[in-house]
C-alpha cells in the first residue's frame, strides 16, 4: 500500500466536513448566538428548501427516520392487527415501527436485481386485513413505484415510502414524468443520520406528503398532538429536528446533487473494474430509477465471503454485510405470532452480498487499491 494513501473508511464524514467547515462552523455559531435551539429559523429555512427539492406539497421535519415512519403510520390511523406489507430485506427500522404500533408486518420478497420489494410478492400477500405497503428504496435505488402505486390503487392501500437511503433518487414513470423518491406514495419518510446521503451531525428525519390534511395531522403528532400549545387533540410523540442540525442540513442540501455525482463516479469506477467478472454481480440500475449509491453492494458467486472480508480487512479495506439477518429471521418478531414465510431470494441474497466503501470523498487511488485487492482475492 502506498503509505501516502488516505485511510479507507466505509463512510468518511470527516473529510466531507472539512470541505464545508467554514460555512458549517459559522452556521452553528449563529444558532448558538440566536439561542433558538429548537424550531429556530434554520429549521423553517431547511424545511422550505427540502420541500422545494423534493417537489413535495408538504414537508415535516422530525427527530429521525424511524420516527418519520412511525408518525406516518400513526397518522394513517392503522389499527392493531392491520397488515402492513414490507420487505424482509431492509434495515430493521422499517419493520420495527410496524411491530411497535402493534400492526402486523407481512414480509415479502425483493427483486434480486434491485434489492427492492417485488410487486408480484406484494400482490400475493394481500388479504382483507392489508392496509398499507412500505416499499424501501434500498441502497439508493428506487422500488418499482409505478407498479406498487397501481396495486395500492386497486386494493385501496396506503403507500409509505422508506426513502432513508435514497434521498436525491429520481423515479421516471412510463409516461416520461419524473418524481423524487419519497414524494410518490401517500407518505414518504427519510433520515438524516450522519452516514445517510444527506447526513446531519446528529439525528434528524423528515416526512413528505401531497395530502394537506395528512400533513397537518403528522405535524401535530410530531408535536404531542397539539396545534395550539397545551391543547392536545390526539396522542402524539415528541419528535423534532433541532436548529443546529437544520443549519448543517441547509448547507449540505445545496451540495446534495454534487454528493450524489461523487457517489455515482465511485460506483462507475467499481463497475468498470468488476465488469465481466462472473463471480461478481455489480449493482443493477433499472430504467425507471437513478441510483444514488447509499451503498455499493455486490453479489458474490462461488466466493468465500468471510475469507474475502478478512483478506480485505488485512489490507485495511473495510467491508460490511447489509444486513446479516433479514427481518423474518429476527428474534424481535418471535412473539408476534407471524405465519412462517418462505423468502428464498431474501435468504439467498443475505448470504452473498457484500458492501464496499462508498462515500463522497473516495479518490482514484483508494478505488484502484480496493478493486485490485478484491480482484486479487476473487481471481485466485
Ligand atoms: C437509516 C434507516 C432508517 C432509520 O433512520 P434513523 O434516522 O436511523 O432512525 C429507516 N429505514 C432505512 C431503510 C434506513 O436505512
Q: What is the mean pLDDT of the chain?
A: 97
66/95 Cα distance (integer angstroms): 10
SS3 category, 174: coil
Residues 107 and 245 in one domain: yes
Is residue 133 in some structural domain?
Answer: yes
b/e map 191-207, b = 16+ CB within 10 Å: bbbbebbbbbbebbbbb
To which residue does cell 395500492 refer?
152
Are 273 and 124 in the same domain? no
Q: Is 228 helix (H, G, I), strand (E, B) or coil?
A: strand
pLDDT at residue 339, rounded to an integer:
87
pLDDT at 185: 98
308, 161: one domain? no
- From atom 6 of ligand 1, which residue's Cα is the shortest distance away? 65
One domain, residues 207 and 175: yes
Q: Do 338 and 232 lie in a common domain?
A: no
pLDDT at 26: 98
Ligand 1 lining (C-beta closer than 6 Å): 64-66, 90-91, 93-94, 136, 162, 164-165, 191, 193, 203, 205
Q: Is there a single domain that holds both residue 236 and residue 267?
A: no
What mean pLDDT do residues 341-357 have?
97
Domain that holds residue 261: 256-379
Q: Based on the domain organization, do 20 and 169 belong to the same domain?
A: yes
Residue 9 forms part of a structural domain: no
Instruction: Provide the pLDDT for residue 4.
Output: 82
Are 231 and 284 part of one and the same domain?
no
Which of 253, 276, 291 terminates a domain? The answer is 253
- pLDDT for the residue 169: 98
Per-residue DSSP letter, 373: H
- Confidence class of residue 145 from pLDDT cuts 50, 70 and 90? very high
Best residue among 62, 70, 71, 164 to mutate for probing ligand 1's pocket (most ligand atoms within 8 Å of CB) is: 164
pLDDT at 24: 98
Mean pLDDT, residues 24-28: 98
**Distance in angstroms (rounded) separating the CA atoms of residues 355 and 94:** 20
pLDDT digits (tens, 9 = 90+) for 248-280: 999 999 999 999 999 999 999 999 999 999 999
* Residue 323: cis peptide before it, omega within 30 degrees of 0: yes
Which is the closest atom of ligand 1 to the Cα of 193? 7
Over residues 111-140, the pLDDT tens digits come to 999 999 999 999 999 999 999 999 999 999
Q: Are 343 and 112 in contact (CB under 8 A)?
A: no
Query: Domain with 103 in it: what CATH number?
Result: 3.40.640.10
Q: Tell me: the pLDDT tens digits for 30-80?
A: 999 999 999 999 999 999 999 999 999 999 999 999 999 999 999 999 999
How far, in Å, from the CA of 93 to the mean position of ligand 1? 6
**Do residues 150 and 295 share a domain?**
no
Span 338-356, mean pLDDT?
96
Residue 59 included in any domain = yes
Query: How many structural domains are present in the chain?
Result: 2
Q: Which of 219, 253, 287 is the last residue of a domain?
A: 253
Separation of 3 CA from ligand 1 center, angstroms?
Answer: 36
Q: What is the domain-level CATH number for residue 372?
A: 3.90.1150.10
Going by C-alpha positions, the residue among 191, 192, 85, 95 that lies closest to residue 133 is: 85
Give the mean model confidence (pLDDT) for residues 241-253: 98
| Region of residue 301 (left: phi > 0; alpha: psi -120 to 50; beta: else) | beta
Q: Whose CA is nearest to atom 10 of ligand 1?
A: 93
pLDDT of residue 161: 98
pLDDT value at position 2? 62
Q: What is the pLDDT of residue 335?
A: 86
Residues 226 and 291 occupy one common structural domain:
no
Can you say whether the dihedral through the CA atoms of 255, 296, 195, 158 is positive or negative? positive
Distance, in Å, from the CA atom of 165 to the CA atom of 142, rounded to the nearest integer, reads 10
Index of the ligand 1 atom closest to the CA of residue 90: 13
The answer on 156 and 234 residing in a single domain is: yes
Give the pLDDT of residue 1: 58
Q: What is the 3-state secondary structure (H, E, C) of 116-170?
A: CECHHHHHHHCCCCEEEECCECHHHECCCHHHHHHHHHHHCCEEEEECCCCCCCE
**Substitution candidate for ligand 1 out of 182, 191, 245, 327 with most atoms within 8 A of CB:** 191
Closest atom of ligand 1 relative to the 191 alpha carbon? 7
CA of 196 to the centre of ligand 1 (A): 8
pLDDT at 142 exceeding the cut of 80: yes
Amino acid at each position: 500500500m502506498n503509505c501516502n494513501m488516505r485511510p479507507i473508511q466505509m463512510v468518511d464524514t470527516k473529510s466531507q466536513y472539512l470541505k464545508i467547515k467554514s460555512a458549517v462552523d459559522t452556521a452553528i455559531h449563529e444558532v448558538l448566538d440566536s439561542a433558538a435551539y429548537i424550531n429556530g429559523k434554520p429549521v423553517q429555512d431547511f424545511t422550505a428548501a427540502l420541500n422545494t427539492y423534493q417537489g413535495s406539497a408538504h414537508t415535516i421535519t422530525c427527530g429521525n427516520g424511524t420516527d418519520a415512519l412511525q408518525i406516518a403510520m400513526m397518522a394513517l390511523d392503522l389499527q392493531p392487527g392491520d397488515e402492513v406489507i414490507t420487505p424482509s430485506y431492509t434495515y430493521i427500522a422499517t419493520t420495527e415501527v410496524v411491530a411497535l404500533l402493534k400492526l402486523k408486518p407481512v414480509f415479502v420478497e425483493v427483486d434480486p436485481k434491485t434489492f427492492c420489494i417485488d410487486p408480484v410478492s406484494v400482490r400475493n400477500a394481500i388479504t382483507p386485513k392489508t392496509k398499507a405497503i412500505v416499499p424501501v428504496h434500498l441502497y439508493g435505488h428506487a422500488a418499482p413505484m409505478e407498479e406498487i402505486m397501481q396495486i395500492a390503487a386497486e386494493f385501496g392501500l396506503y403507500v409509505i415510502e422508506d426513502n432513508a437511503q435514497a434521498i436525491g433518487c429520481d423515479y421516471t414513470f412510463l409516461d416520461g414524468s419524473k418524481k423524487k423518491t419519497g414524494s410518490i406514495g401517500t407518505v414518504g419518510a427519510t433520515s438524516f443520520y450522519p452516514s445517510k446521503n444527506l447526513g446531519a451531525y446528529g439525528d434528524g428525519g423528515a416526512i413528505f406528503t401531497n395530502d394537506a390534511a395528512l400533513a397537518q395531522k403528522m405535524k401535530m403528532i410530531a408535536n404531542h398532538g397539539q396545534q395550539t400549545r397545551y391543547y392536545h387533540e390526539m396522542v402524539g410523540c415528541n419528535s423534532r429536528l433541532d436548529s443546529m442540525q437544520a443549519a448543517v442540513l441547509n448547507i449540505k442540501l445545496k451540495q446534495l446533487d454534487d454528493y450524489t455525482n461523487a457517489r455515482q463516479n465511485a460506483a462507475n469506477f467499481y463497475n468498470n473494474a468488476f465488469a465481466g467478472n462472473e463471480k461478481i454481480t455489480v449493482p443493477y440500475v433499472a430504467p425507471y430509477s437513478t441510483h444514488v449509491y447509499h451503498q455499493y453492494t455486490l453479489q458474490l458467486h462461488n466466493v468465500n465471503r468471510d475469507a474475502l472480508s478478512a483478506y480485505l480487512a488485512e489490507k485495511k479495506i473495510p467491508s460490511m454485510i447489509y444486513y446479516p439477518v433479514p427481518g423474518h429471521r429476527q428474534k424481535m418478531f418471535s412473539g408476534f405470532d407471524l405465519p412462517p414465510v418462505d423468502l428464498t431470494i431474501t435468504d439467498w441474497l443475505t448470504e452473498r452480498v457484500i458492501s464496499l466503501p462508498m462515500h463522497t470523498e473516495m479518490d482514484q487511488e483508494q478505488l484502484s487499491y480496493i478493486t485490485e485487492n478484491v480482484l486479487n482475492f476473487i481471481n485466485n
